[in-house]
Amino acid sequence: MKRYFIIIFLLLAFFAAAKVKGNIFAEEMTATSCHACPAVAEILHEIYSSHEYPFYYVAMVTDKNDLAAERAREYNVYGYPTTFFDGGYEVIFGKQDMQYFKNAIQSCLERQRANIKINLEVKWLGENSIEIDLGVKNNGNENYNGFLKVYVVEPVSRWKNYDGKPYHFGFLDYAVNEDISLTPGEKINKQIVWNGSEEGYEISKDNIMAIAVVFNANGNTKYSDPPENNHPFTAYYVDACTAAKPSPDEPPSLQFTKKPENVTGFRNVSFEWAGSDDHGNVLFSYKLMNYDKDWSNWSNITHVEYANLPDGEYEFLLRGKDNIGQISQISWRFIVDTSPPRVIEHYPKANAKNVPVYVTIRIKFSHEMNKKSVENGLEIEPHIDYTVQWKNGNEILIHPQTLNYETKYTVIIRNAYRKSGQILQYYEFSFETSAMDVTPPHILYVNPLNAELMSNIEIKFSEPMDTLLHRAIEIEPWVPFTYEWKENDTLLEIKFSNYSMGSYNITITTYITDKYGNNMEKNFTFYVYITPPKIVYTSIEDGERNVALHTLLEIKFSHEMNEQSVEKNLNIFPECSYNISWNNSTLLIEMQLEYGKTYYINISKNARDVRGIKMEKDFSIHFSTLKEIERNGGKNEMPSFMLLMAIAAMLLAARKRKLK
């Protein structure tokens, strides 16, 4: 039997906990001359430190702060200490047992409040200043009017209570104190710089905090102490509260603004750098590994030069230190290489046989070269005419105009210089060209072949082809196109200039030839087609009911889509929280929904695929979520006594059946 009563107790605790709707805020009205105030301060801080409740509070030291005294007058405070919970929803006068304060917090937790959300971030700016970034949003369905206050407090106050102990969360000033009006769904954002010096305070980063509170504008007559003392005030209850401190100070950020390349042909190198910190200056120290014995002294120097370094590998280390001693470090590796250049790769390879007469000769050097010296020192025997082009400064491409069949050629390089001045005195290699080719080319594959055209058409040939395409390609119906040869002129890419719906027959005719002038033996014809994208599958059916509150909707498209275009043309009504991701051509929408609502998902036909083609028509589905189980007339309250007795009866009946 005991076990079943425990279950009932846990059910009660669950429903009670479910009623928590936000943080509770308390204002401790106090004075340094108050004998009873230290005991109340200790109780409030013990509750706060226990983390048993979502709870923030401020100590309004009225004899040290004029704004705190003014706030006490607004509450019509009779005496100290008096603690106002959630704007006066609960009021405790004088010193009481801790349970009184806990009961007041619990009472505030259980009350109804407007659906107002606050986002708060505090940044330390240095020079006695903080920046407060604040957002307040009305998530309710009605217009909202209220008051926004941002309390600037010191977690360990500069003021001490009657017992000589510092107050906690001692109030300094309002960073914000103004009326607000919000329509349903409206959000206001504020960025405020609060400077302690302007208010006469010296503050520190590790002892400053902001508490943002929204009070509603619906006044309620309350009493600051028992009614018989006749001290009424107008209470404005709290609808939202949150707090934030400046984030921990990070080490300084460092970056090189000038550094040598990984490989340099010079013996002299230089570095320049910069550093930044959340506040204050950055000092620097550096060391060149394998060269400097010790780190340089800390200073604000931001550059250094090294002259006549020996060849070798080096690592330059840079450290930055902020004004509280935090150190960060970056490094850069480089090589000093003043050796002569050399040929590290060439094509054709030395003594290669059967080299095609249409070959491009390629020579790659170990270093960036003086291009003119290479071209002046280049010879090909027997003599041929050619053109050259350069790639990355260290690779030359030689394009012969004509080579003879079955001929040995020798490529010679004399007196070629590195860009840094070192010389390659002589290098040569030879190769032999092939006999004349009389085999006609043929097509190895086509992509896409008789299928949907999504990007370019690829046609792969059995050997390198003549890149001139006079009468070699026919498209019916005709459409403007461009083409490009790749992979040593064996791969032809055709790109349509525009995508129009329909089917296209493409013929590669026998006018196309390989490098030796051999024509294809017969025409090759295939077709491609273009259709608009559409939606082919959804994981939730149109009109589906009882959809879970946390659900994943999958929408699969027939084509690969322009993701940004789809997301821009997506609409979900009514609004809900959701995240979007993609799995190939499937859109994944992870949604957080509400009980008993009908949602509409629309994607406009203006959504485009990767080709830029619009959808064939608008897409829309709707579905309904699970209905919330209603108790006590639909209110989210603790289950009734009769319901609990029914649960207990069922548990006892189950136990009797088990005993039988």
Residue 126 Cα to chain centre, angstroms: 27
CB contact at 8 A, 266 and 338: yes
> CA–CA separation, 29 vs 560, rounded Å?
64
CB contact at 8 A, 77 and 28: no
pLDDT at 337: 85
pLDDT at 42: 96
Question: Looking at residues 375-398, what average pLDDT do you find?
Answer: 95
> CA–CA separation, 616 vs 590, rounded Å?
25
Q: What is the DSSP letter of 207?
A: G
What residues pair up with 274 in beta bridges, in sequence order?
255
Alpha carbon of 142 to those of 216, 247, 306: distances in Å?
Answer: 13, 35, 70
> CA–CA separation, 94 vs 224, rounded Å?
11
Tens-place pLDDT, residues 413-441 = 999 999 888 899 999 999 999 998 889 99
> CA–CA separation, 155 vs 651, rounded Å?
50
3-state secondary structure of 55: strand
Question: Looking at residues 606-613, what average pLDDT do you find?
Answer: 94
Bridge pairing between strands 524-530 and 451-452: parallel
313 against 634, higher pLDDT: 313
325 against 604, higher pLDDT: 604
pLDDT at 14: 41
Kind and range of the H or E element at 72?
helix 66-74
Task: Check pLDDT > 90 for residue 648.
Answer: no
Name the token pair of 407.
């001929």
Tens-place pLDDT, residues 254-284 = 999 999 876 565 678 899 999 988 767 899 9
Tens-place pLDDT, residues 547-597 = 999 999 999 999 999 999 999 999 999 999 999 999 999 999 999 999 999
Sign, CA torsion 489/490/495/500:
positive
Tally of CA atoms within 13 A in the half-sphere of 224 that contains its CB: 20
Sign, CA torsion 639/642/643/644:
positive
pLDDT at 2: 46
Tens-place pLDDT, residues 177-202 = 999 999 999 999 999 999 999 989 99
Residue 9 Cα to chain centre, angstroms: 45
Nearest in space to 270 (alpha carbons), one of 236, 309, 241: 309
Question: Looking at residues 382-400, what average pLDDT do you find?
Answer: 95
Residue 108 φ then ψ, to 5°: -65, -35
- Give the residue carrying structure tokens 């041929």: 384
- Give the residue carrying structure tokens 């051999």: 518
pLDDT at 11: 45
Name the token pair of 507.
């013929």
CB count within 10 Å of CB 532 equals 17
CB contact at 8 A, 533 and 615: yes
Alpha carbon of 92 to those of 44, 54, 68, 104, 241: distances in Å?
Answer: 12, 19, 18, 8, 20
Sign, CA torsion 485/487/492/493:
negative
> CA–CA separation, 639 vs 551, rounded Å?
28
Alpha carbon of 63 to those of 67, 157, 176, 206: distances in Å?
Answer: 10, 14, 22, 25
Residue 439 φ then ψ, to 5°: -85, 125
